[in-house]
Amino acid sequence: MSKNKEKQRLVGPWRNIHGAVWIIGLAILALRDWWWPGILVLVAISMVLEAILMQYAPQAFEKIEPPAPSSPVAATPMPSSPAPLASEHRVDLLPSVCANCGGPIRGHEVKWTGPQSADCPYCGVNLPMGKS
């Protein structure tokens, strides 16, 4: 299947019919002990059924939306609500980026080592307090 072609899946009773073809086909293969060439025949029957449905019953399919591309930043799970920081932690004094590795600094991600002392979550260096 090409990358540009929209993906579709069967819906409603058509999906049930397609599933029934597979179950009945597998039952026949098991009873006849005709696994190796039989599975190829079953796959072919399944493909022919889908082709016939695409031709004569296009309403049997629904389009599948491709997943949105994710960025590396979006791949890291963010807490739904950040844990409340102790009042002694001065988040406003944290730099916006680490002076050592350049990573972004967020109050809920740093490792607090004291009331006004924190380590970078990426490289572990102690962060200088004060806006930068």
Q: Does 34 fall in a domain? A: yes
Whole domain around residue 44: which residue ranges? 8-63
- For residues 10 and 4, what is the distance between their CA atoms, to the nearest angstrom? 19
95 and 56 in a common domain: no
15 and 53 in a common domain: yes
Q: Does 82 fall in a domain? A: no
pTM: 0.41
Mean pLDDT (10-residue bins), the chain, 132 residues: 65 82 91 88 89 80 71 56 58 84 85 83 84 48
58 and 21 in a common domain: yes
Task: Return the pLDDT at 1.
Answer: 47
Instruction: Name the phi and psi angles at 10, rounded to 5.
Output: -70, 145
54 and 13 in a common domain: yes
- Contact present, 118 and 94 (Cβ < 8 Å): yes
Task: Return the pLDDT at 103.
Answer: 86
Task: Return the pLDDT at 76.
Answer: 57
Task: Return the pLDDT at 90.
Answer: 76
24 and 59 in a common domain: yes
